[in-house]
Amino acid sequence: MRLSRYFLPVLKETPAEAQIVSHRLMLRAGMIKQSAAGIYSWLPLGFKVLRKIENIVHEEQMRAGHIPIQMPTIQSADLWRESGRYEAYGDEMLRIKDRGGRDMLFTPTAEELVTDIFRSHVSSYKDLPLTLYQIQWKFRDEVRPRFGVMRGREFYMKDGYNFDLTKEDALHAYNRHLVSYLRTYERMGLQAIPMRADSGPIGGDDTHEFLVLADTGESEVFYDSAVTDLTFGDREINYDDVAQCAGVMEEFTTKYARTDETHDEALFNEVPEERRRVARGIEVGQIFYFGTKYSDAMGATVQGPDGKPVPVHMGSHGIGVSRLLGAIIEASHDDNGIIWPEGVTPFHAGIVNLKQGDEEADAACEALEAALEAAGLEPLYDDRKERAGGKFATMDLIGLPWRITVGPRGLKNGVVELTSRRTGESEELPPEAAVAKLVEIYKDHMVKGL
């Protein structure tokens, strides 16, 4: 992509309305534009990162054996009356009437709809286990939308639902989700810690939230610092292996880590004092097992092995896809701007031409651009007639992890400069070597998605 042809409306001034750094940087980098309180348009750069995150979520969900579907954003109130949540949900639900006067709503979550799909099409235990998920816009009329995409009213969420014959099977689905979430967040360059949480209006006993530690987080968290030493890494997982998933679950959830809702001071005090941490965190996901709550209310049964109908055991599992952009930036930025982890960066590398219009420099930049594209990478070539300082500032602001700087002086010696956004370190190397190095860096970060 050539910057001169792209749409990147960066702001010079720091927007006064933004209270936290991720919100400020998303506005300054031209990623989003607010259209109403808590409702945003996604401009090209923001949209690209949103898609990257979405694609990682798809890949990891499908790897775990979960099946993507898409459900409508506007739903009939009737289904929600069956579960009792039409009344119970309260003011967070955006209620709409159609021209026939029928009560409709904009989906804040989709347990009812997916349960209806299930009961219409699945009748035998032989079709279980089944986990359906979608990535879809949600609307919750939050009292205080704030912090940009972090707490929007309209937001993008992955919501998945498991259907199982027994509680035991459903707990395996729970563990499988936990494992797949650990992998998902790590691919995005994030450490998200599973913490025992409160189930809220969804109901149920077993639930964990995934929190990214950040001073600007809305949740107060209490944990044993040993949990931050745990990493998922590149271990091989067989998602059908009940014992293996349970083992990972145990490894990541037995040390003390709780949100304020479930915090237990006495238990916390059993953690050695030097490892006790009280901090703040951003909730980027949550998993629930809630048993037969919805299947009882909505008659979602299957014929069991003995021929008798049994209500299915369910759980639901969410990832805050749009909130993740804010969480990643909170976790990864400096005074000059965003620093994207390789897994989610909107472009793999920036190309900065120090002397636009110089025949040799232009040709070298174009050749680099073509070579990166041929290797399956997406460069952003700053081909504007601007001062080098301005070009560097833009690249730093938008946070591409790697920058290739091309100028007549280096070209005389046959080299360009490859700079890491994270460390600021540069090395001079021939253009082909720079391309080869980037290919190597990104080989484990290529995202296909659906």
Contacts with ligand ATP by CB under 6 A lie at: 109, 140, 142, 151-152, 155, 157, 200, 283-286, 318, 320, 322-323
In the complex, least distance from residue 283 CB atom to ligand ATP, rounded to whole angstroms = 4
Residue 289: name its binding partner from ligand ATP, Mg ion, none (Cβ under 5 to 8 Å by kind). Answer: none
**Packed helices 321-331 and 44-63: angle between N→C axes, nearest 10 degrees:** 110
Phi, psi dihedral angles at 159 (to 5 degrees):
-125, 125
Binders of Mg ion among 375-404, rule CB under 5 A?
A: none
Whichever of 115 and 286 has its CB closer to Mg ion, that residue is 286
Whichever of 86 and 155 has its CB closer to ligand ATP, that residue is 155
Instruction: Let me know if 393 is exposed, middle or buried by CB neighbors in 10 A (0-12, 13-18, 19+).
Output: middle
Q: Which of 131, 134, 180, 286 binds Mg ion (CB under 5 A)?
A: 286
Element containing residue 114 per DSSP (H, E): helix 111-121
In the complex, least distance from residue 202 CB atom to Mg ion, rounded to whole angstroms = 8
Report CA 230 to chain centroid distance, whole Å: 20
Whichever of 90 and 233 has its CB closer to ligand ATP, that residue is 90
Rounded CA-CA distance 331/228 in Å is 14
Whichever of 327 and 364 has its CB closer to Mg ion, that residue is 327
Taking CB under 5 A as the binding criterion, the range among 58-66, 93-101, 248-256, 280-288 that sits at the site for Mg ion is 280-288
Whichever of 169 and 283 has its CB closer to ligand ATP, that residue is 283
Rounded CA-CA distance 82/90 in Å is 16
At residue 257's C-alpha, the angle toward residues 254 and 258, to 5°, is 125
Label residue 9 left, alpha or beta by phi (over 0 means left) and psi (-120 to 50 means alpha).
Answer: beta
Rounded CA-CA distance 103/412 in Å is 71
Residue 52: name its binding partner from Mg ion, ligand ATP, none (Cβ under 5 to 8 Å by kind). Answer: none
Whichever of 326 and 431 has its CB closer to Mg ion, that residue is 326
HSE at residue 351, side-chain half, CA atoms within 13 A, is 33
In the complex, least distance from residue 366 CB atom to ligand ATP, rounded to whole angstroms = 41
In the complex, least distance from residue 317 CB atom to ligand ATP, rounded to whole angstroms = 8
The yes or no reply on residue 207 touching Mg ion (CB under 5 A) is no
In the complex, least distance from residue 407 CB atom to ligand ATP, rounded to whole angstroms = 43
CB atoms closer than 10 angstroms to residue 394: 22
Q: Which residue is at the shortest CB distance from ligand ATP? A: 320
At residue 25's C-alpha, the angle toward residues 23 and 31, to 5°, is 85
In the complex, least distance from residue 286 CB atom to Mg ion, rounded to whole angstroms = 4
DSSP for residue 312: P
Residue 258: name its binding partner from ligand ATP, Mg ion, none (Cβ under 5 to 8 Å by kind). Answer: none
Give which of 316, 345, 315, 309 is closest to 328, Cα–Cα. Answer: 345
Residues that bind Mg ion (CB under 5 A): 286
